[in-house]
Chains A and B, each alone.
Chain A
Amino acid sequence: DAGVIQSPRHEVTEMGQEVTLRCKLISGHNSLFWYRQTMMRGLELLIYFNNNVPIDDSGMPEDRFSAKMPNASFSTLKIQPSEPRDSAVYFCASSLKGAGEKLFFGSGTQLSVL
Chain B
Amino acid sequence: KNEVEQSPQNLTAQEGEFITINCSYSVGISALHWLQQHPGGGIVSLFMLSSGKKKHGRLIATINIQEKHSSLHITASHPRDSAVYICAVKGGSQGNLIFGKGTKLSVKP
Residues of A within 8 A of B90 (CB): 98-100
Does residue A43 face the partner (Cβ distance < 8 Å to B)? yes
Contacts A50-B94, A100-B30 known; A43 to B44 CB distance under 8 Å? no
A105–B43 contact, CB under 8 A?
A: yes
Interface string of B73-100 (1 = CB under 8 A from A): 0000000000000101010011111011
Interface residues on A, range: 20 to 34
Does residue B69 face the partner (Cβ distance < 8 Å to A)? no
Residues of A within 8 A of B97 (CB): 33, 45, 99
Q: A91 vs B100: C-alpha distance in the bound complex, in angstroms?
A: 16
Contacts A100-B30, A103-B33 known; A45 to B96 CB distance under 8 Å? yes
Interface string of A96-110 (1 = CB under 8 A from B): 001111111101101
Closest Cβ–Cβ distance, residue B21 to chain A (whole Å): 15
Contacts A99-B31, A108-B41 known; A55 to B95 CB distance under 8 Å? yes
Q: A39 vs B13: C-alpha distance in the bound complex, in angstroms?
A: 23
Closest Cβ–Cβ distance, residue B27 to chain A (whole Å): 13
Residues of B within 8 A of A108 (CB): 41-43
Does residue A14 face the partner (Cβ distance < 8 Å to B)? no
Interface string of B29-43 (1 = CB under 8 A from A): 011010100000111
A42–B95 contact, CB under 8 A?
A: no
B48–A42 contact, CB under 8 A?
A: no
Query: Footprint of B on A, CB under 8 Å?
Result: 31, 33, 42-45, 48, 50, 55-56, 89, 91, 93, 98-105, 107-108, 110
